[in-house]
């Protein structure tokens, strides 16, 4: 990948047994979502970009300016890189207004209070200006923290699971607010999350991080709709299996090159206790049943020992019959050819 003109990160770092070796690029004004499970190195990557952590080697560049080069790290205070985490971390000894005015004031601006009021009003929490942080609800604190981050006038905004600690009512509101804010201000943003929804609503581009490495990076639609690795597929809830798996044959494709992998959605899989068709049908063992949005997700193990991942099948809860559909049972799975696409 060619170096991005905006934020260009290419760093390596070891902490005990964990190794982060990641390269990401974000164009000016673009939102990149970095997806990955817990422990994949997302927060470490953000700490390096923010200048809070020195990598063992590698660089962080913003619009051509070197912010980090190995152990040489420009102080976070001089980077114009804002950071908003899962914990709002409002300064407990300052009022809401003074929290938001903190950034402008340490930069020597005399109109910090006025700026802070404006940001608070914009996010609908102007009436809380005199409160102490401990008097706020989770959603209010998150808004104040966002106002504080933006009042410091960052050029790059790093969001580290900003919605993870919020309850089900507050999260969608803040997600919407975040989406509007980064768009309105054309902020170059790196959003770290383990929630695909965040990426779907906020991101222009998506990078997937696994065990400290970027395994996939591309436009949002590319990565979310057509994942290229089994890991990403599992992450976004799509099945991706090697060609030939379960005797599966995709519908005729335009490209002449033979597919190496096959992709199909869990909802396209039909399960039955007996073999009902001849084509695109294979026998699998049920690993377990788990809840899924609007139904039940059945996780099937691969027919023979292989590297292929588990296959997911979404079934109607009304159709779950525990006389044959239960953990460890052998079932027949079927996917219509038109639902299978080759990669």
The residue ranges that bind other proteins (CB under 8 A) are 50-52, 75-77, 79-83, 87, 89, 91-94, 102-103, 106-107, 132-134, 148-149, 152, 154
**CB atoms near residue 112 (< 10 Å):** 20
**Pick 50 or 170: Cβ nearer other proteins:** 50
**Pick 95 or 261: Cβ nearer other proteins:** 95
Please report how close the Cβ of residue 141 comes to other proteins at its closest, in angstroms.
Answer: 13
Please report how close the Cβ of residue 76 comes to other proteins at its closest, in angstroms.
Answer: 4
Distance separating alpha carbons of residues 272 and 279, to the nearest angstrom: 14
The candidate with the shortest Cα–Cα distance to 266, out of 244, 243, 288, 234, is 234
Distance set, CA 154 to CA 79, 97, 188 (Å): 8, 18, 9
**Pick 41 or 154: Cβ nearer other proteins:** 154
**Pick 132 or 297: Cβ nearer other proteins:** 132
Please report how close the Cβ of residue 37 comes to other proteins at its closest, in angstroms.
Answer: 23
Residue 246 CA to chain centroid, in angstroms? 31
Please report how close the Cβ of residue 133 comes to other proteins at its closest, in angstroms.
Answer: 8
**Pick 80 or 326: Cβ nearer other proteins:** 80
Please report how close the Cβ of residue 98 comes to other proteins at its closest, in angstroms.
Answer: 10
Phi-psi region of 247 (alpha: psi -120 to 50; beta: other; left: phi over 0): left
Please report how close the Cβ of residue 52 comes to other proteins at its closest, in angstroms.
Answer: 5
Distance separating alpha carbons of residues 174 and 163, to the nearest angstrom: 7
Please report how close the Cβ of residue 102 comes to other proteins at its closest, in angstroms.
Answer: 6
**Pick 58 or 88: Cβ nearer other proteins:** 88
Please report how close the Cβ of residue 17 comes to other proteins at its closest, in angstroms.
Answer: 18
* Under 8 Å between Cβ of 296 and 320: yes
**Pick 104 or 266: Cβ nearer other proteins:** 104
* Under 8 Å between Cβ of 83 and 152: no
Q: What is the DSSP string of 190-231?
A: EEEES-HHHHHHH-SEEEEEETTEEEEEEEHHHHHHS-SSHH
**Pick 106 or 279: Cβ nearer other proteins:** 106
Distance separating alpha carbons of residues 261 and 105, to the nearest angstrom: 56
Buried b (16+ CB within 10 A) or exposed e, 221-246: eebbebbbbbbbbbbbbbbbbbeebb
Residues in Cβ contact with 46 at an 8 Å cutoff, skipping those fewer than 6 apart: 83, 158, 160, 190, 192
């Amino acid at each position: 990948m060619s170096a991005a003109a905006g934020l260009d990160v290419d760093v390596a770092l070891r902490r005990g047994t964990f190794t982060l070796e990641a390269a990401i690029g974000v164009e000016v004004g673009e939102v990149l979502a970095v997806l990955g499970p817990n422990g994949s190195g997302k927060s470490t990557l953000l700490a390096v970009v923010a200048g809070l952590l020195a990598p063992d080697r590698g660089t962080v560049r913003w619009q051509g300016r070197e912010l980090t080069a190995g152990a040489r790290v420009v102080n976070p205070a001089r980077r114009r890189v804002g950071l908003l985490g899962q914990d709002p971390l409002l300064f407990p000894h300052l009022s809401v207004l003074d929290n938001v005015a903190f950034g402008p004031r340490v930069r020597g601006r005399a109109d910090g209070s006025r700026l802070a009021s404006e940001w608070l009003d914009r996010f609908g929490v102007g009436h809380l200006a005199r409160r102490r942080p401990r008097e706020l609800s989770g959603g209010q604190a998150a808004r104040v923290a966002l106002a504080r981050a933006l009042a410091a006038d960052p050029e790059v905004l790093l969001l580290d699971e900003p919605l993870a600690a919020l309850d089900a009512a507050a999260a969608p509101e803040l997600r919407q607010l975040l989406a509007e804010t980064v768009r309105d201000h054309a902020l170059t943003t790196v959003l770290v999350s383990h929630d695909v929804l965040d990426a779907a609503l906020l991101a222009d581009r998506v990078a997937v991080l696994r065990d400290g490495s970027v395994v996939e990076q591309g436009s949002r639609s590319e990565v979310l709709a057509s994942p290229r690795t089994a890991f990403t597929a599992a992450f976004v809830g799509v099945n991706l299996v090697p060609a030939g798996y379960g005797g599966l044959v995709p519908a005729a494709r335009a490209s002449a090159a033979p597919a190496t992998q096959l992709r199909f959605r869990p909802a396209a899989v039909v399960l039955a206790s007996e073999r009902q068709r001849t084509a695109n049908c294979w026998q699998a063992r049920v690993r377990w049943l788990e809840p899924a949005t609007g139904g039940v997700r059945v996780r099937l193990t691969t027919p023979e020992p292989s590297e292929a991942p588990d296959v997911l099948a979404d079934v109607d809860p009304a159709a779950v019959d525990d006389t044959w559909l239960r953990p460890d049972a052998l079932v027949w799975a079927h996917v219509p050819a038109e639902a299978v696409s080759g990669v």
